[in-house]
């Protein structure tokens, strides 16, 4: 009997375009494409291995991230990915390269996924990377899978590296309603050797704040060294940061730390709220009810050349404008060539991705 991964590869090889479906928490991302045959990953539901001593785990793609985290927590460990959406599967999180506030210190899926199995449209299951955290044998296809939105094949299994789960956290809060001042504070914090778990910004109704989260035995002490306002019971605060990445119409701006004031001023003018990684530069703008495609285009115009990707949006908006903001050019041509080699007949999530890939 073929394994669940092999069964998916066989399905792909039999032809007919599919829409790969995990938990469906990001079904309204990307270009809308109708009429595809759904291909669920629900059967891929096993935690294949968890090696606490090695800080690694192997998960099938359909495993819910929250369930995996509960298992890792029992060993005092975590997978350092905290994207919004508790129902999300690990396959979906990896395919979308989704990440939350922990991104500040630990990165995105590309930084914690050390191995991947891809069911390919040619009917094979290709493995790359491995189960060790340091490994340069062969091409880094796990990087290619992260953020590929299922357009090259179906991610059926991932191997991840884990981190110690901090027992104590505390968050320093620095409030200000001047975007320039917030940027100054953010740059000051990210230039100090704080080793914060997260360094986020929040902007809502004309008021802003920077949140610096510390972990470990000295967490509260380190937070107090940064700000007089410290929240030692900070789970709710960070849940709100994660939730702020989702909404009716959300634009993710891939900016730089020194663009923060510019992005927040844009938020103010568009009556948008914002959350994001102040030390990284990636900010999510949540546009108010009634906003639409023209607002997205105005934001892109204003924030160019920083890419502005539409994540959550009604299908009409995603149909009216390219949600991806990847310009035509040699890089996009190369992406199309990669697509053509892995998925020559457009079987996997065709049309969903940048440049019509």
Partner 1 sequence: MAAAELAPLVARLRAAVGDAHVVTHRHQLRTYESDGLLQYAVTPGAVVLPGSADEVRAVVRACFEAGVPFVARGAGSGLSGGALPVAGGVVIALSRMRRILEVDLPNQRVVVEPGVTNLEVSRAVAPTHFYPPDPSSQVVCTIGGNVAENAGGAHCLKYGFTTTYVTGAEAVLSDGTAVSLGGAEADRPGYDLLGTLVGSEGTLAVVTRVTLRVVPVPESIRTLVAFFATPQAAGEAVSAIVSAGVVPGAIEMMDNLAIRAAEPVAHAGFPLDAGAALLVELDGSRAEVERRFADVERFCAAAGAGEVRVARHEAERARFWKARKAAFAAMGRIAHAYLVQDGVIPRTRLPEVLARIQSLAGEYGLRVANVFHAGDGNLHPLVCYDAPEDAARAAELSARILDACLEAGGSITGEHGVGHDKKAHMPKQFAEADLAAFQKLRCAFDPHGLANPGKVMPTPRLCGEVPGRYRPHPLEEAGLAERF
Q: Map the footprint of partner 1 across residues 14-43, applying CB under 8 A.
A: 17, 31-36
Residue ranges in 283-302 that form contacts with partner 1 under rule CB under 8 A: none
The stretch among 59-67, 80-88, 239-247, 348-356 that binds partner 1 (CB under 8 A) is: 348-356
Instruction: Return the axis-axis angle of helices 260-269 and 179-191, rounded to nearest 10°.
Output: 150
The count of residues interacting with partner 1 (CB under 8 A) is: 99
The stretch among 147-155, 173-181, 198-206, 234-242 that binds partner 1 (CB under 8 A) is: 147-155
Which CB atom, from 64 or from 109, has the smaller least distance to partner 1? 109
53 preceded by a cis bond (ω within 30 of 0): no
Q: Is residue 91 within 8 Å of residue 23, measured between CB atoms?
A: no
Q: Is residue 283 within 8 Å of residue 255, measured between CB atoms?
A: yes
Q: Who contacts 230 (Cβ-Cβ below 8 Å, separation ≥6)?
A: 170, 171, 172, 173, 220, 223, 224
Q: Who contacts 335 (Cβ-Cβ below 8 Å, separation ≥6)?
A: 326, 354, 355, 357
If binding is defined by CB under 8 A, does position 254 make contact with partner 1? yes
Residue ranges in 81-120 that form contacts with partner 1 under rule CB under 8 A: 97, 107-108, 110-111, 118, 120
Which CB atom, from 89 or from 282, has the smaller least distance to partner 1? 282
Q: How many CA atoms does the CB half-sphere of 125 hold within 13 Å?
A: 17
Residue that the structure tokens 């299994």 belong to = 157
Q: How far is the CB of 222 from partner 1 (least distance, A)?
A: 6
If binding is defined by CB under 8 A, does position 181 make contact with partner 1? no
The stretch among 170-178, 232-240, 242-250, 345-353 that binds partner 1 (CB under 8 A) is: 345-353
If binding is defined by CB under 8 A, does position 126 make contact with partner 1? yes
Question: Could you tell me where the beta strands, DSSP code E, fall in the chain?
Answer: 18-21, 37-40, 47-51, 56-60, 77-78, 113-119, 125-129, 154-161, 163-164, 169-176, 198-204, 207-215, 229-231, 250-254, 273-277, 282-286, 308-310
Report the Cα–Cα distance between both ends of the chain, in Å, rounded: 33
The stretch among 84-92, 193-201, 236-244, 262-270 that binds partner 1 (CB under 8 A) is: 193-201
Q: How far is the CB of 300 from partner 1 (least distance, A)?
A: 12
Which CB atom, from 267 or from 354, has the smaller least distance to partner 1? 354
Which CB atom, from 147 or from 292, has the smaller least distance to partner 1? 147
If binding is defined by CB under 8 A, does position 51 make contact with partner 1? yes
């Amino acid at each position: 009997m073929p394994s669940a991964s092999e069964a998916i590869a066989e399905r792909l090889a039999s032809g007919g375009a599919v829409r790969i479906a995990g938990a469906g928490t990001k079904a309204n991302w990307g270009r809308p494409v109708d009429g595809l045959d759904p291909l669920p990953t629900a059967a891929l539901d096993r935690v294949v291995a968890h090696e606490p001593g090695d800080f690694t785990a192997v998960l099938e793609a359909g495993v819910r991230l929250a369930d995996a985290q509960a298992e890792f927590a029992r060993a005092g460990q975590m997978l350092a990915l905290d994207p919004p959406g508790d129902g999300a599967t690990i396959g979906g999180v990896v395919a979308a390269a989704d990440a939350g506030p922990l991104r500040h210190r630990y990165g995105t899926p590309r930084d914690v996924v050390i191995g991947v199995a891809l069911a390919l449209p040619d009917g094979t299951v290709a493995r790359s990377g491995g189960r060790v955290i340091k490994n340069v044998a062969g091409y880094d296809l796990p990087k290619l899978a992260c953020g590929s939105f299922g357009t090259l094949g179906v991610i059926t299994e991932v191997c991840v590296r884990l981190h110690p789960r901090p027992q104590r956290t505390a968050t320093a809060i620095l409030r200000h309603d001047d975007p320039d001042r917030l940027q100054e504070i953010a740059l000051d914090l990210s230039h100090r050797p704080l080793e914060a778990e997260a360094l986020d910004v929040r902007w809502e109704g004309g008021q802003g704040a920077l949140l610096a989260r510390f972990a470990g035995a000295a967490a509260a002490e380190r937070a107090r060294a940064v700000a007089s306002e410290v929240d030692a019971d900070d789970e709710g605060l960070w849940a709100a940061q994660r939730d702020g990445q989702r909404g009716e119409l959300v634009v993710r701006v891939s900016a730089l730390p020194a663009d923060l004031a510019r992005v927040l001023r844009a938020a103010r003018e568009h009556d948008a709220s914002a959350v994001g990684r102040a030390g990284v530069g990636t900010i999510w703008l949540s546009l108010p009810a009634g906003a639409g495609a023209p607002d997205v285009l105005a934001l892109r115009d204003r924030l160019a050349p920083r890419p502005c990707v539409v994540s959550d949006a009604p299908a009409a908006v995603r149909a009216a404008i390219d949600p991806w903001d990847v310009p035509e050019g040699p890089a996009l041509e190369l992406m199309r060539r990669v697509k053509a080699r892995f998925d020559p007949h457009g079987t996997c999530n065709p049309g969903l991705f940048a440049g019509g890939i």
